[in-house]
Amino acid sequence: MPPTRLAALDLARGLAVVAMAIYHFSWDLSWFAFVEWPVAQGQGWRLFAASIAGSFLFLSGVGLDLAHHNQIRWRPFCRRFLVISLAAAAVSLVTYFIFKTQYVRFGILHCIALSSLVALPFTRLPLAVTGAASVFCLSLPFWGTSSLFDGQLWLWTGLGRPEFGSVDYVPLVPWVGVTLAGVAVSRLFRQRHLWIWLSKFRFEDLTGRATRFLGRHSLSIYLLHQPLLFGLVWLATQVGPEIDRASIAFIRNCTEACQMSGYTSQTCEAACGCTLSHLKSDEVWTDLVADPANQTLRNHMNNRYALCLAEPHSIPESLN
């Protein structure tokens, strides 16, 4: 049997925490327009965010197996489930006041809590059953989605389309499959005595101890680091020159979407700049920023964009 705390597991959690902090700080800088990185939309950034979420969920599954493979320890599990659930609720509440319609409805903490509940019985089931359940859940988005799960009531399932966007969205499917994979891999490690081998590595150097400390306190750091980083970046906006974050983000996102239709970057930048100028002169820009999901305002924006794009120079590259 491995010791109560595995240094390697704490180290892995700590590395995930460092990656998470890097991503969130980059997101904050982008949100306040200090940088023009496509953190929210860029494919590479999305993969980075997904790998971080997957790391936490996988390690959650590993921890479940190590804690409950002999018998389910209901008191520690319920205590952990309650703490994570309350933390998830706190994240939803705080982000509601900051991001309004884009608040976190079902983010990483919500998913960890519910995935742990779903995965708990599998700590007592055969490895093959757990592995099959993991593959099943990971494959569900490719064949199991349905319009029946559309809307906010079922957004937690991941099997439909939510009505609103969110600054963090990690649905149960397919992510519970990653937690189940963690349970299965931990079981395999136990069968092959790999946890005992890994327990020999203590990572006692300064970097190792610091990273393990982060891993041991990952939940507390998760709850504290983003308000701290977000607050620091916001403070920088107050003491530095004023930046029109909304306009910069609009031009960036509009240009990216335009280029996907085959137009040149120069054409897209001109069309998007034209659209923004008209939205401001039409006195709808402020309302659109405050309520980006308003369909009437979005229709007005799309009409303006179509008119700007219809100018003679706006010809897709594929037609040149």
212/73 same-domain check: yes
pLDDT recorded at residue 4: 60
Rounded Cα distance, 40 and 27, in Å: 7
Whether residue 1 is contained in a domain is answered as no
14/62 same-domain check: yes
Burial 111-142 (b: 16+ CB within 10 A, else e): bbbbbbeebbebbeeebeebbebbeebbebee
Rounded Cα distance, 245 and 53, in Å: 27
127/199 same-domain check: yes
pLDDT recorded at residue 312: 55
Averages of pLDDT over each 10 residues, the chain, 320 residues: 75 97 94 83 91 98 94 95 96 91 93 98 96 98 92 92 85 98 97 92 94 95 93 86 79 86 86 93 90 88 92 47
169/304 same-domain check: no
Whether residue 60 is contained in a domain is answered as yes
146/265 same-domain check: no
Query: Structurally, how many domains does the chain consist of?
Result: 2
pTM of this structure:
0.80
173/76 same-domain check: yes
Whether residue 155 is contained in a domain is answered as yes
- Give the DSSP letter of residue 106: B
Domain boundary among 221, 238, 255: 238
218/295 same-domain check: no
**Three-state secondary structure call for residue 306:** helix
224/256 same-domain check: no
pLDDT recorded at residue 314: 46
> Domain range spanning residue 123?
7-238
Whether residue 74 is contained in a domain is answered as yes
229/291 same-domain check: no
Domain boundary among 238, 256, 272: 238
Question: From the CB of residue 214, how many other CB atoms can be counted at a distance below 10 Å?
Answer: 21
307/281 same-domain check: yes
Whether residue 2 is contained in a domain is answered as no
118/24 same-domain check: yes
117/260 same-domain check: no
Domain boundary among 238, 268, 297: 238
